[in-house]
Chains A and B, each alone.
Chain A
Amino acid sequence: MKHFEYADEKISEKEILIVIPSTLIGIGILSLPAELAGYTTAADGWVAIAVSGILIIFVVWLISKVAASFPNQEFITYASALVTKPVATVLTILFSLEGVFICTYVVRVISDIAEEYLFDRTPVEVIGLAFLLTVVYAVSGSRAGLFRLNMMFLPIISFIMFLVTVFSFGLFEMDNFFPVLKTDMSGYVQGIRASTLSYIGFYILFFYIALVRKPEKTPKMAALGMGMTVLIYLITFIISIGVFGNITASNLIFPVIEIAKEVEVPGGFFERFDSIFFVIWIMAIFNTMCMAFDVTVFSLKSVFPVKKIKLIFILSPIIFFLSMFPASYYEVEKFGSFISHYGVTLVLTTMILLTVALKIKGVKKRG
C-alpha cells in the first residue's frame, strides 16, 4: 500500500474559513435552541445568538490578528516571545486539556444520542469505542488531509441543514414568533451567556494559523467563518421556534433532531428523514472531534518531543475512559457546562494576555 503524500503540511486561508464552522457545528447546536427558548420569550433568542455571535466574531478576529502577526510560527514560539516561555508552556498544556475534555464530551454525547435514537441495545461503550477508533484513524494520518476532509464534509452538512430548513417551512406557524422583544434583561443576559458558551472550539486558531502559508488575510477569513457559524445557529434557532413554538422547544432535549424526525419529503415519498439527518450529523460531529483531537496532539507535540503516533496512543485510552466516567445524563450535562466555562475563560484570558503583550512589545521581526 502506498500512502499519498501531500507536498507539505501547509494550508491556505480558505481552509481556516472552513475549519471554524466545521469545528464549532456539532453537539452544541442540537440542544442550544432548547436552552435559549427557556430563557427568552417567543423567538427573542435570536438577539442573544446575534449579540454573542458579534462578540465572538470580534474575539476570533483578534486571535487571528495576533497569531497572524507571527507568520509560520507555532503558538509556543510566539507566545514565549510575548509572555515568556514558562507561561506559554502552561497555556499550551491548559489548551491541550481543553482539547481532551472536548473529545471526551463529544464521544460521550454522540454515543448517548446514538443509543437513544438509533441503537437500543448496543452498549454506549461499544458505540463510543467505534467512534473514537474512527477518529483516531483519521487523526493518525496527514494533518492537511484532515483540513481537506473538512472542506469536503461542510458542503454536505450545509446541504442537509438547508433541506431541514426548507422542509420545515410546511410545519411553520407564524404565531410562534409573537410577541416580539418582550424578554426581560436578565433573560437576554442568560441567553447571551448560554450561546457564548456554546461557541467553544475556536481556540484552535491559536495553533492552526501557524500552518497557513500566507496569513495576511486569515483574520478576515476567520471572522467570515465565524459569521457562517453564527448564521447557521440563527437559522437553527428560528426553525426550532417556528416548528415547535417557544414552550415546546424549551422542553425538548434536542429540538433539531425532533425537527428532522418530523419533516417529511412532500408526497409521502420519504418519511424517515431523520435517518439521513443522523448520518450527516455524525459527519459534522466527527469533524468537530477530529479537529479537537488533532489540535491537542499538535499542541502537546510542541511541548513534549514525542512522536505524533505515540501521543495519539496515549491520549485515546484517556479520552475513552474519561468519556465513560459520567454515570448519567445529568453528570454529562454538568461536565459539558464545566468544559464550556473552562474553555471560554481560558481563551479570553489568553487573548487578553497576548494582545496586551503584543501592544507593549510590538512584533519583533524574525523573533
Chain B
Amino acid sequence: MVKRIFFHLSVLLPLLLFMTGCWDRLEIEARGFVIGVAIDLVDKDNNDPTVELTSQFVIPGGIGAPTQGGKEDQSPYMNFSETGKSLFSINREMRKATNLVPFYQHLKVIILSEDVVKQPHLMTNMMDVFIRDHDMRRNVKLLITEGKAKKLLETGQQESPLPAMYINNLMDTSFVNNATVKPVIIGDLHGELLMEKSFIVPKIELMDEHIKYEEVGVFKGKTNQLIGVLDGEETKGLNFITQQIEGGTLELEVDGELTTVEIIDYRSNTEIKGEDKENLQAEVAVEITGNIVESFSSQTLLNEEYAVKVEEHTKEKVEDLMELTVDRVQGEMQADVLGMSDILYRSHYELWKEIEGNWEYGENYFSQMDINVSADVKIERVGASDVIDKEGEEIN
C-alpha cells in the first residue's frame, strides 16, 4: 500500500512541473499598448519606397487619477518612430530599441500622410499587415492628413491627454456634423480594396493645438491612390447622396437674413434607370426633415409662409451641394464614390457584369452617366421661442 502511494507520488509530482505556467506568458508591464499609428513617407523611390512608422504607446503611470497626485512631469504616452520598408519588420526593429513588446489589439487609429497615399499601390501595401495580422481588430479607424502624420500624435489636450484617443473620440462624436463622413474602418477598407472600388477616407488637419476634422480624401480604385480631396461643402453633398451622417446643419440666406437649419432626419434614395449602358440615368431623391435652430430674422417664424420659404431655400441649397459633388467626382476625379456601382451590382446585376471593366476606366460609363438630384424638405419646428429680436421695437 505504502509502496503504491510512493509510486503514484513519483509520477504525479514531476507532472506538477509542467503545470506551472503558460508558454505565452507576458507580464502586462512588458506589453506596450499601441493605440495609434502614423505612417509617413521618407523616400519615394518609385519601386521601393521607404516609410516611417510612428507608434504611440500608452504609459499607464502617466495617466493616473489626479487625486493620487500622480507624477506630473511624466507624459502619459510615448511615441516611437522607426523607418524601413515593411511595416512588420519595422515593428520588429522597435523591439530592439524599447523594452516594450508592441501589442496592437487596442489600436484605435491609423493616420496616413498624404505623401504616402499619393503613391500608387503604397496604401494597399501598408494596409496589408493591418488586415492580415490576427492581432489587429477590424474596427481600427483610418485617416489621412496633409503634412507629417506623426505630428498629429503629439497634440496634447487637456481633456484627453492621449492624442490617439483624442482623435478617436473626435471622430466618434462628430457624427452630427455633415461636413465629415462616418469613420472608415479597416474592415470596410478590406472590402473596397478587394472590389477595386473607389473609396473615401476622412481627412484631419492640425490647426495649432487643435485638430480639424473635415474634408475627405477620394481614392481611385485599382491604383488605390489619393486623387483629390472634397472640401467641406462637397462633403455635405456627398453625405446627402450616400446617406452617411445622421444630422448636420445648413446655413441659408432667407430674405437676406442668415438662418440655420438643423437636419434631424433624412432619407436618401438612388435609383438607376435605363438598361442602355451608354445612357444610364440615376435619380437621387433626398427627403429632409429639419428644424430652424438659429435665425437672424425679425419676422415671425410661426407663419407658415415663412416656413415654406425656408423649405424652398433649403431645397435649393441641398440640390446645389449635391450637384457640386456630382460634378466634381464625375468630371475631374472620375471616381465613383457615390455608390452607383453598388446599386448597379444589386439591382442590375447582368448590366453591371457587362460594364464592370469600363466603369471608371476605359469607356468610363460612370462619367457618362446622367445623375439628377432632387430634394424634398419639411421644416418641423422653430425652437422654443418665436422672434428673439423685433426690429427696432425695444429701442422705441
Contacts and interface: CB of A to CB of B under 8 A. Distances in A.
Interface of A: 41, 116-123, 126, 175, 178-179, 182, 244-245, 247-248, 251, 258, 261-262, 272
B340 to A, nearest CB: 13
Interface stretch (B53-61, B187-195, B290-298): B187-195
Nearest to B353: A182
Interface centre among A120, A247, A251, A262 (most CB of B within 10 A): A247
Contacts of A247: 191, 194-195
Contacts of A116: 134
Interface of B: 22-24, 105, 134, 137-139, 187, 190-191, 194-195, 342, 345-347, 349-350
Given A248-B187, A251-B194, A119 B23 contact: yes
Contacts of B187: 244, 248, 262
Nearest to A120: B24
Contacts of B190: 248, 251
Given A117-B134, A179-B347, A262-B137, 19 more contacts: A41-B349, A118-B24, A119-B24, A120-B24, A121-B24, A123-B23, A178-B346, A179-B345, A179-B346, A182-B349, A244-B191, A247-B191, A247-B194, A247-B195, A248-B191, A251-B190, A262-B139, A262-B187, A272-B105
Contacts of B139: 262
Nearest to B189: A248
A262 B346 CA distance: 25
B138 A258 contact: yes
Contact of A248 (B23, B194, B350): B194
Contacts, number: 45
Contacts of A251: 190, 194
A245 B138 contact: no
B24 A175 contact: no
B347 A178 contact: yes
Contacts of A41: 349
B356 to A, nearest CB: 13
A269 B46 CA distance: 46
Nearest to B195: A247
A272 B105 CA distance: 10
A178 B134 CA distance: 29
B73 to A, nearest CB: 31
A244 B187 CA distance: 8
Contacts of A120: 24
A251 B22 CA distance: 32
A261 B138 contact: yes
A251 B128 CA distance: 13
A349 to B, nearest CB: 40
Contact of A122 (B24, B194, B349): B24
Contacts of A179: 345-347, 349
A125 to B, nearest CB: 11
Interface centre among B23, B134, B194, B350 (most CB of A within 10 A): B134
Nearest to A247: B194
Nearest to B185: A262
Given A119-B23, A248-B191, A175 B138 contact: no
A59 B194 CA distance: 39
For the complex of A and B, the 5 pairs showing the least CB-CB separation, nearest first, are: A178-B346, A122-B23, A179-B349, A248-B191, A182-B349
